[in-house]
């Protein structure tokens, strides 16, 4: 079981290096764990603590989205009625939220944006409740988390476990490694719907209220690499007391597309930019200015 301390898997414990020819120029990262892969070939380009187990905070939601989108017969236009339970959960946990209102009818497609942009834990709860099976909310959410773990096993991941649909883990038993999380992201981003969702810096959704009216939601993407680093098109932020600042990122520069992971990095965006620059031959990291989020927007 994890607490705030990283568990070390038997395999790789030391930082892995890039090809020897480039080793002298490798960027220095703030992250305790990092991984970069070639999105075209799936080949590893960089690893630091690649197989050290760490908590992942809201980057968990990449698997939440992947399970939803790969559910057989999924209807993205299906409407889900928001329950007060979801709002109470967010309030109780002090969690990031899409501010979904009780009684509103929101489509699965809209909930995916609510999940991935403002990192809505209420949206994660709604999706788990809607997609899981069982006669109670508790049973359905437990079933959904089971699906997350089944998918991790299907992907051959031996150092990943989910006990949460959104990354909030009371027991600290929700962990992954940089390598595993990059594998999950690579799998998830094969879905065109998800790629469309995560590249948006903002999204507006019109939902039907309980009285038959219309409510417009506006969500801003917490991933500040978007709009800051040329070619970035995702993916997900996460921040937690034990996990630290985390980031799954993706970008295309100079014809090269990479997907990467930063776990517990005090300068997660700078780390991502350095890796992307180094392996694509770009030079943006030193001059990059982060896109600012509007006042009142969620931070994660």
In the block, residue with structure tokens 């590893």: 44
| Torsion angle in degrees (nearest 10) through CA of 65, 162, 177, 167 | 70
Q: Which residues contact 47 (CB under 8 A, 6 or more apart)?
A: 12, 15, 16, 34, 35, 36, 178, 179
Cα dihedral 39/43/47/53 (nearest 10):
80
Distance CA 138, CA 197 (A): 28
H helix runs in 173-220, sequence order: 178-188, 192-198
74 token code pair: 């999924």
| Residue whose C-alpha is closest to residue 188's, from 159, 152, 156 | 152
Q: Is 196 helix (H, G, I), strand (E, B) or coil?
A: helix
Residue 249 contacts residue 271 (beta carbons within 8 Å): no
Q: Cα(40)–Cα(70) distance, rounded to whole angstroms?
A: 21
Is beta strand 202-208 parallel, antiparallel or unpaired with respect to 175-176? unpaired
Decide: 286 and 273 in contact? Cβ < 8 Å.
no
Q: Tally Cβ neighbours within 10 Å of residue 88.
A: 13
As a whole number of angstroms, the distance between CA 45 and CA 193 comes to 26
Buried b / exposed e over 180-193, threshold 16 CB at 10 Å, is: bbbbbbbbbbebee
How far is C-alpha 181 from the geometric centre of its chain's CA atoms? 9
Active site residues: 58, 61, 119
């Amino acid at each position: 079981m994890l607490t705030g301390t990283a568990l070390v898997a038997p395999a790789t414990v030391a930082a892995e290096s890039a090809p020897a020819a480039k080793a002298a120029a490798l960027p220095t990262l703030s992250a305790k764990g990092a991984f970069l892969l070639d999105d075209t070939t799936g080949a590893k380009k960089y690893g630091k603590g690649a197989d050290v187990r760490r908590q992942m905070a809201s980057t968990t939601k990449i698997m939440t989205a992947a399970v939803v989108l790969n559910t057989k017969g999924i209807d993205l236009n299906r409407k889900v009625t928001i329950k007060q339970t979801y709002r109470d959960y967010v309030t109780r946990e002090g969690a990031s939220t899409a501010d979904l209102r009780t009684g509103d009818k929101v489509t699965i497609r809209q909930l995916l944006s609510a999940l991935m942009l403002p990192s809505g834990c209420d949206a994660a709860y709604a999706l788990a409740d809607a997609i899981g099976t069982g006669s109670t909310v508790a049973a359905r959410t437990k079933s959904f988390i089971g699906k997350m773990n089944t998918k991790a096993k299907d992907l051959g991941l031996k150092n990943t476990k989910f006990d949460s649909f959104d990354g909030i883990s009371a027991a600290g038993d929700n962990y992954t490694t940089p390598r595993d999380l990059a594998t999950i992201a690579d799998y998830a981003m094969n879905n065109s719907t998800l790629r469309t969702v995560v590249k948006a810096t903002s999204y507006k959704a019109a939902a039907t209220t309980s009285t038959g009216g219309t409510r417009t939601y506006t969500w801003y993407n917490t991933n500040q690499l978007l709009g800051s680093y040329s070619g970035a098109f995702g993916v997900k932020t996460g921040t937690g007391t034990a996990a630290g600042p985390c980031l799954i990122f993706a970008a295309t520069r100079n014809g090269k597309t990479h997907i990467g992971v930063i776990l517990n990095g005090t300068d997660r965006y700078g780390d991502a930019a350095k890796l992307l620059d180094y392996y694509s031959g770009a030079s943006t990291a030193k001059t990059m200015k982060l896109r600012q989020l509007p006042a009142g927007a969620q931070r994660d």
